[in-house]
Amino acid sequence: MQAHRKIIHVDMDCFFAAVEMRDNPRLRDIPIAIGGRVNRGVIATCNYPARAYGVRSAMPTGQALKLCPHLTLIPGQMEKYRQASEQIRTIMMRYTDLIEPLSMDEAYLDVTDSALFQGSATRMAEHLRQTIFEETGLTASAGVAPNKFLAKIASDENKPNGLCVVRPDQVDAFVQNLPLSRIPGIGQKTAERLAALGWFQCDDVREAPLHLVVKHCGSLAESLLQRVRGVDHRPVNTSRERKSVGVERTLSEDLISAEECLHKALELWPRLHDRLSSSRQLKAVKSIGVKLKFNDFILTTAEKACRQVTRDDITSLLAEAWQRGNGKPVRLVGIQIGLQDMSHPQLSFQF
């Protein structure tokens, strides 16, 4: 019988905002948010005083200011955040080589075979959090569990600056009353569809007839049936490869025609090309896609498979996306290149 894994999920607390508060103590006790311009920006993250007013990540800045009129907006400084992230990653490597970064501010660690602290994952997590704080001045929350799914859920239990441990014998009780909306991959619309069936918590799905779960959840059914029982066999993946590269821009003024959107997309192209050229994991082009967000915040994307990228591709995709808006002004334009596994890069651009 295979021994239980010991997985730690580390999630930094309001990371971008925390770096700013660390570097400027005057910001610590007031609501702050990292975001764009007042009328056109989107909140990247905010501190906990701001969250008390209902401000959240991905919220339009204008809406955030209505909820919290005295919110202090700070332009993002990505290089500073990137340096802090690299420092944290270096600390993590003292505990294990099996690290799966999810973003700049969170990662999975597999410490199953680590001999540190007599093999206690709980003590490792406690020491890791303490070391991160001592060396960076930033707080982290952590979850310890037998698998990735439970560790990620646990890391959110006692935020900020908290630790939650789910032992193997506690798994069933932990997930029984867990809201389905907290399962990664269950978005708002899916949660609403499940709620319409009377399924709100993991136990509701566990008790439901199998054929109904398959009927109403489709391709999601297999994964859902595992998660509601606390099962997750995915290993920590130390070689996550980039599957796409994209750029986007929120605009200072709405665009009112497909031609204006195309012009803006062409302005973004040099940035996208630079990212493709500098990517260490660059593979072959698989697809090209465009993204438009209209002034009512409805988002649409149009994509097509291709082996080379041409101006005609972007023109036709933008026309398709624009038509979906029925003439609504556009506040954001983006382009994304899908990548596929190949033994050698095979990029071809006709632009």
Task: Give the type of residue at 133.
Answer: F
156 is in an annotated binding site: no
Please check whether residues 265 and 307 belong to one and the same domain. Answer: yes
Distance CA 243, CA 240 (A): 9
Confidence class for position 312, pLDDT limits 50, 70, 90: confident
Q: Which domain holds residue 324?
A: 244-350
The whole-model pTM stands at 0.74
Asked if 67 and 24 sit in the same domain, the reply is yes
Mean pLDDT taken over the chain:
88
- Which residues are registered as beta bridge partners of 310? 350
Q: Has residue 350 got a pLDDT over 70?
A: no
pLDDT digits (tens, 9 = 90+) for 65-82: 999 999 999 988 888 998
- Same domain for 209 and 294, yes or no, is no
pLDDT tens per residue, range 322-349: 999 998 999 889 999 888 755 444 444 4
Residues 217 and 262 in one domain: no
- Could you give the number of structural domains in the chain? 3
Residue 119 lies in a domain: yes
Assigned domain for 115 exists: yes
Find the radius of gyration of the CA atoms of the chain: 22
Domain co-membership, 309 together with 284: yes
Please report, for residues 26, 87, 89, 127, 186, the alpha-carbon distance to residue 83 in angstroms, rounded to integers and kept in the order given.
22, 6, 10, 22, 32
Beta carbons within 8 Å of 172's beta carbon, 6+ residues apart: 229, 230
Q: For residue 93, give the amino acid letter.
A: M
Residue 271 is classified by DSSP as H
Residue found under tokens 């071809």? 348
What pLDDT, in 10s, does the model give residues 161-186? Answer: 999 999 999 999 999 999 999 998 88
- Does residue 265 contact residue 335 with C-beta atoms inside 8 Å? yes
Same domain membership, residue 87 and residue 128: yes
Q: Tell me: the pLDDT tens digits for 14-63? A: 999 999 999 999 999 999 999 766 666 788 899 999 999 999 988 888 89
Give backbone dihedrals phi and psi of 19, rounded to 5 degrees, phi first. -65, -40
Written as six digits, the tokens of 314 are: 């972007």
169 is in an annotated binding site: no
> Nearest CA to 171 among 257, 229, 244?
229
| Nearest of 189, 185, 196, 187 to residue 225 by alpha carbon | 185
Same domain, 334 and 290: yes
Show which residues are catalytic. Answer: 106
